[in-house]
Amino acid sequence: MAADVRQIEDPILSVQGLTVAFDTEAGPVRAVEKVGFTLIKGRTLGIVGESGCGKSVTALSIMRLLPQPMSRIEGGQVVLDGIDLVALPAESMQTIRGASVAMIFQEPMSALNPVHTLYKQISEPLRIHRPELSKGELKREVIRLLTDVGIPDAEGRLSAYPHQLSGGMRQRVMIAMALALSPAILIADEPTTALDVTVQAQILDLIRRIQTNSGMSVIFITHDLGVIAEQCDDVVVMYAGKVVERAGASTLFADPKHPYTQGLLASMPRLDAPRKTRLATISGQVPGLMDLPPGCRFQNRCPHVMERCRSEVPEEVTVGEAHQVACHLYDMIGGSGKGC
Ligand code: SF4
């Protein structure tokens, strides 16, 4: 396999062989299996896939925020600046979270405390991590953070409670909280899914602007390829707990290799399509994690399925510069493979 050139650019986070299991009434299931990718400093990586594909579990594993005690990281590494976060004691993760890696979620109310004012919530991490700040400096810093994320009359809002804000404003407050300690990496898990289209565009714009100004690296978790096209430099496509394709965003959109990625792209609405064109869909359902077939997990939906797909698990092969795909259509002739 050829080297992934992005791995020798300037990686800030490297996930290798990540495997996560959940205990269920029917026994343990692997929600994520041998997932690997690299986030490059200053770039945006999108993780895309249908719900239940393991993208949020991957994000929570990086943060070591998996629900306890029913889930665990069974194998693999999450290496941040040379430190394997999987091997760190829980107490050490508290200094990583917020300061090195921060996360924002789809529903801000799940992260904001409804009974505390904005000032109390945003100043909290600053109080803990920067005890040298005086009361006045702390207040100025909170006002600056709220202003930076576009909250009008930031000073006047310090004593407001989350329920007094609109959904878009709450999302801005959550971003302000996430940015309080200037993290090197921001993980955004479907941050705009619950918002209307105009507010969605404003929030995406805000994240892009913050990234340009700060040089922060971003991981975008989404089911929306439109968001990926707008925001991301690199893309990881996940299906049923596995990575099926990795590439630069422009490569992925111009030359998708995996039949699942091709299906996702075909189901995207296009402005240049004739009116009343029906959108393509991927037939069938994602298999349940308790019910995974042997071989390729996409076999029951794949228009190119072959005999060997029913029994052999496809390994990732390199099909172009920084372009990897896990599909038997491409592993027959040393990774150069054939297209579908
Ligand atoms: Fe389709 Fe086989 Fe490739 Fe799976 S391995 S995506 S079933 S061609």
- Of 289-293, 313-317, 332-336, which gets the smallest average pLDDT? 332-336
- Please state the length of the chain: 340
Q: Is residue 259 in contact with ligand 1, taking CB distance under 6 Å?
A: yes
Residue 47 reports pLDDT greater than 70 = yes
Residues 326-338 have a mean pLDDT of: 72
φ and ψ of 319, to 5 deg:
-115, 0
Residues 289-305 have a mean pLDDT of: 94
Determine the Cα–Cα distance for residues 236 and 230; give it in Å rounded to an integer. Answer: 15
pLDDT at 73: 97
Which run of H or E residues covers position 211? helix 197-214
Determine the Cα–Cα distance for residues 307 and 296; give it in Å rounded to an integer. Answer: 11
- C-alpha separations of 173 from 162, 164, 205 in Å: 9, 12, 15
pLDDT at 7: 45
Q: Is residue 326 in contact with ligand 1, taking CB distance under 6 Å?
A: no
pLDDT at 335: 47
pLDDT at 202: 87
Residues 288-295 have a mean pLDDT of: 91
Residue 65 reports pLDDT greater than 50 = yes
| Ligand 1 site-directed mutation target among 300, 302, 310, most atoms within 8 Å of CB | 302
Q: Is residue 257 in contact with ligand 1, taking CB distance under 6 Å?
A: no
pLDDT at 106: 82
- The answer to whether residues 337 and 329 touch, using CB atoms and an 8 Å cutoff, is yes
Q: Is residue 242 in contact with ligand 1, taking CB distance under 6 Å?
A: no
Q: Is residue 297 in contact with ligand 1, taking CB distance under 6 Å?
A: no
**pTM of the predicted protein model:** 0.90
Residue 193 reports pLDDT greater than 50 = yes
Between CA 157 and CA 163, with CA 161 as vertex, the angle to 5 degrees is 120
Determine the Cα–Cα distance for residues 264 and 281; give it in Å rounded to an integer. Answer: 8
Atom number, ligand 1, closest to the C-alpha of residue 258: 6
Tell which residue, 203, 299, 222, 217, has the closest CA to residue 258: 299
pLDDT at 3: 41
Each residue's pLDDT tens digit, 136-170: 999 999 999 999 999 999 999 999 999 999 988 99
Atom number, ligand 1, closest to the C-alpha of residue 305: 7
Q: Is residue 310 in contact with ligand 1, taking CB distance under 6 Å?
A: no
pLDDT at 277: 63
Residues 240-253 have a mean pLDDT of: 97
Which run of H or E residues covers position 144? helix 135-148
Ligand 1 centroid vs 303 CA: distance in angstroms?
Answer: 8
Ligand 1 centroid vs 287 CA: distance in angstroms?
Answer: 14
Q: Residue 79, SS3?
A: strand
Q: Is residue 314 in contact with ligand 1, taking CB distance under 6 Å?
A: yes
Q: Is residue 308 in contact with ligand 1, taking CB distance under 6 Å?
A: no
Residues 60-70 have a mean pLDDT of: 94
Which run of H or E residues covers position 269? none
